[in-house]
Amino acid sequence: MNDLIIRSLSGIFYVGLIILSLISSDAWLWGFILFSIFYFIQTDELIRLLRLDKISFFLMSVLFWLGISTGIIYSVFTRSFQLQWSIELVYFIAFVWILFIIFMIFSIIRTNLSAIFALFYLAIPFSLTLVILMIEPLLILFLFFIIWIYDTFAYLTGRFFGKHKLAPAISPKKTWEGVAGGMLAVIISVYLIWKYHLLTDYFYFLKDAEFSGLIPMLILIIILATAGDLFESFLKRRAGVKDSGNIMPGHGGLLDRLDSYMFAITGFFFYLIFVFKLF
């Protein structure tokens, strides 16, 4: 019972932290701070999971964070205050990226391909998250809403009705019935929000959308979320560990909580660009 209480409180704190940061008046700022913290915690977890060289990989991660963060913050401030490019800023960003490229080359020369993979595994979702945060933070909240609904109902459906294993060699508890149940729950939930204008203060962008156009996006997100979950399970099984970390009591590490999101954000981002044309 104590473990269940700890797990529940830990989960509530995690969900509450994300929601509060994304609905605040300065959501882009609080979101940037929160996801930067997530990025560095995940960096530490991935270092241990893949047995990477801690100093060199952490330096690479810091340089990438510095480069992308500088670009995002500059974009926000130029939009707000109509600032112009300064030669000093150009030199600074160029210097950061030159250092980043040097470390990349250094890692390749050392044949540490795991470090290259790990950096992009972390950096791509983080970069896309910051770009969406700059445009509309509530889109990130919507993506988390989809993932949380899917995870919850996939678990419940799989537990009570699951018979056919999805990937027994990687994640023995996941079933096709769970995937189907989670997908159905997501589609129904989004349909109810769209049909009856629920949560309109947060998901206002759904009211002008065609629901038939949302279904392919939801399916894509669910497929990628499932792939992300399985991929992180593969990394843990390869490393011989149960959890990626222990920062969240009862849940494990942040990689365990964000594995679905890290794959789903890529499909969501490109769907926003090429289908909804929001950027």
pLDDT digits (tens, 9 = 90+) for 201-227: 888 888 888 899 899 999 999 999 999
Q: Write down the mean pLDDT value for the chain.
A: 83
Tell me the two tokens of residue 62: 């810091």
Task: Give the per-residue pLDDT at 224.
Answer: 95
Q: What are phi and psi of 77, to 5 degrees?
A: -70, -35
Confidence of residue 49 (pLDDT cuts 50, 70, 90): confident
| pLDDT above 70 for 17 | yes
Distance separating alpha carbons of residues 239 and 49, to the nearest angstrom? 6
Task: Give the per-residue pLDDT at 62.
Answer: 82
Distance of CA 234 to the CA centre of its chain: 18
Least Cα distance to 269 among 69, 80, 135 occurs for 135
Cα separation of the two ends of the chain: 47
Tell me the two tokens of residue 246: 């222990």
pTM: 0.88
Task: Give the per-residue pLDDT at 81.
Answer: 43
Task: Give the per-residue pLDDT at 59.
Answer: 78
Tell me the two tokens of residue 77: 């401030």
H helix runs in 110-136, sequence order: 113-135
Is 135 or 193 the better-scoring residue by pLDDT?
193
Place of tokens 């970069």: 127
Sign of torsion, CA 201 207 211 215?
negative
Helix, strand or coil, per DSSP, at residue 233: helix
For the CA atoms of 169, 173, 176, 179, the dihedral, rounded to the nearest 10 degrees, stands at -120
Least Cα distance to 50 among 248, 245, 260, 230 occurs for 245
Distance separating alpha carbons of residues 65 and 167, to the nearest angstrom? 34
| pLDDT tens-digit series, residues 116-161 | 778 788 888 898 898 888 888 999 999 999 999 999 999 999 999 9
| pLDDT tens-digit series, residues 51-106 | 887 877 787 788 788 777 776 666 666 655 444 445 555 555 556 556 656 665 56
Distance separating alpha carbons of residues 45 and 3, to the nearest angstrom? 23
DSSP state of 167: E
